[in-house]
Amino acid sequence: MTRELTEITVVGGDKTGLIARVTSLLFERGINIEDLDQAVREGVFRMTTRVDAAEMETSRGELRRALAELGRELDVDIQVRFPSDRDARRVALLVTKETHAPEALLEAEANGELADDGAEAEIPVVIGNRGDLRSLAERYDKPFYDVGDGKGNTDEGRLLDLLAEYEVDLIALARYMRILSPEVVFRYEGRIVNVHPSLLPAFPGAEAYRQAKDAGVRVAGVTAHYVTTDLDQGPVIAQRAFDVPPGADVDEIKRRGQPLEAEVLLDAVRLHLADAIAVHRGTVHVREDVDVDARLGLSEAAVDANPDEPVDGEPLTRSRPSASDD
């Protein structure tokens, strides 16, 4: 496994000298910065810093207090996420109406199959922007919170409070039908996994299955990806494809896609929890030192069925029969 680093996230208004103030505070306490990334979206500034705090010259509590005091002075929110001391990592399910994806994750947890490669994980909370799936959460003995306004709009302040209260390590958008704002995404960037019902980058946005039908595609699919502030453009983790029969309507395409949505989301969660993947320059890479039973793309049978010739510049392995062969 790779060395775990402490993650410090700063979110708020863009201010001159903000980065220098934070990095200076860390340097003064003997904390080595390994990686720093910053962005501004819709007027919201985000800086994510990964640091080696193994030999810091302060305690965890004192560092949190110093950063909180600096955050109040600069009017920004500063969060510190140390490597977890808990045995199990915590996954929050965000849901709306559809049951197939959240139920697959809840059932996997109930069967001890949510995590792989020796990792332990739990789903401590289910959060909806509507109340439709309260009964599903209760069936699996999970607390359920409706943070919507009755029309599907989310109270993101309440959402952030719940994610912090349950000390969430990963957010799984299990067909959560609402776009998260930078206020949420920036605080959990690289820790939000979504499933989208198309082979991204094709058919982003709403009603992807209808888009696929209207385009007349013969092969459609689903994608699990990390969430960024750019809609459905985050790094792709895993995908599944399925055949679209001639004349299939939207409901038939959806019936073929939904089981794969649940499957690919579960695989993406397992890969993340096992620290089996990393994002580099916008692309997900599988770590060579981790062996996880999860599929990224086509099955072995589908790969074997693909033709391997002809290839530009290479002769065919078998030539056409000549007249003398008849």
Contact criterion met (CB below 8 Å) for 33 and 51: yes
- Largest Cα–Cα distance in the chain? 90
- The span from the CA of 321 to the CA of 126, in Å, is 64
Q: Identify whether 143 is preceded by a cis peptide bond (ω within 30 of 0).
A: no
Tell me how far CA of residue 136 lies from CA of 85, 86, 103, in angstroms. 30, 27, 7
Query: Where in the sequence numbering do the catalytic residues fall?
Result: 232
Nearest to 180 by CA among 44, 282, 83, 47: 44
Provide the CA 35 distance to its chain's centre, in angstroms: 20
Cβ proximity of 174 and 108 under 8 Å: no
CA distance 5 to 248: 49
CB 148 within 8 A of CB 129: yes
Q: Which amino acid is at 35?
A: D
Tell me the two tokens of residue 243: 């055949």
Backbone phi, psi, residue 172, to 5°: -110, 115
Residues 6+ apart with CB under 8 A from 150: 130
